[in-house]
Amino acid sequence: MTRTMKLTALALSALCLAGSAGVAGAATFAAWQVAGVAWGDTLNVRKYPANTSQKQSAYPNGTVLQMTGRCTGGVDLFDIAGQPNWKQRQAVRQKWCEVWHDPRNDSDFVTGWVYGKYIRPY
């Protein structure tokens, strides 16, 4: 196989991966858990990273969330994954982080945002 053929195959593979968002790409998600929410309360998932944004769903403590890795302020969960848990939590404490979830339990996954104060690495 020539170098050009290898590069073309690599480019086609990248395009296929980029176009296949969804549960099949779940391996690219970071697992974080809802934690620190007051007893009897839930963590709201918002459409946009703001507490005034539309509420999509809510999850109780202990729920494992599929995080896309993207947080406000330029924080990337994959970049900080090797750090101790306390340091990761500190990095997202005052940020909004994006989740991939199914708010209506109908296999229609969407992105939403949770406040970092209430999540921890799983």
CA distance 51 to 46: 7
Give the DSSP H/E element, type plus range, for residue 26. Answer: none
Could you give the number of structural domains in the chain? 1
3-state secondary structure 61-109: CCCEEEEEEEEHHHCEHHHHCCCCHHHHHHHHCCCEEEEEECCCCCCCC
Digit-by-digit pLDDT tens for the chain (122 residues) are 443 333 333 333 333 333 334 444 445 799 999 999 999 999 999 999 999 999 999 999 999 999 999 999 999 999 999 999 999 999 999 999 999 999 999 999 999 999 999 999 99
In a domain, 65, yes or no: yes
In a domain, 88, yes or no: yes
- 88: domain CATH number? 2.30.30.40
Amino acid (one-letter) located at 74: G
pLDDT of residue 28: 79
In a domain, 69, yes or no: yes
pLDDT of residue 1: 43
In a domain, 87, yes or no: yes
pLDDT of residue 76: 97
Cβ atoms 18, 12 nearer than 8 A: no
In a domain, 89, yes or no: yes
In a domain, 67, yes or no: yes
Q: What is the domain range of residue 45?
A: 25-121
pLDDT of residue 15: 32
CA distance 45 to 55: 6
List CB contacts of 84: < 8 A, sequence separation 6 or more: none
In a domain, 94, yes or no: yes
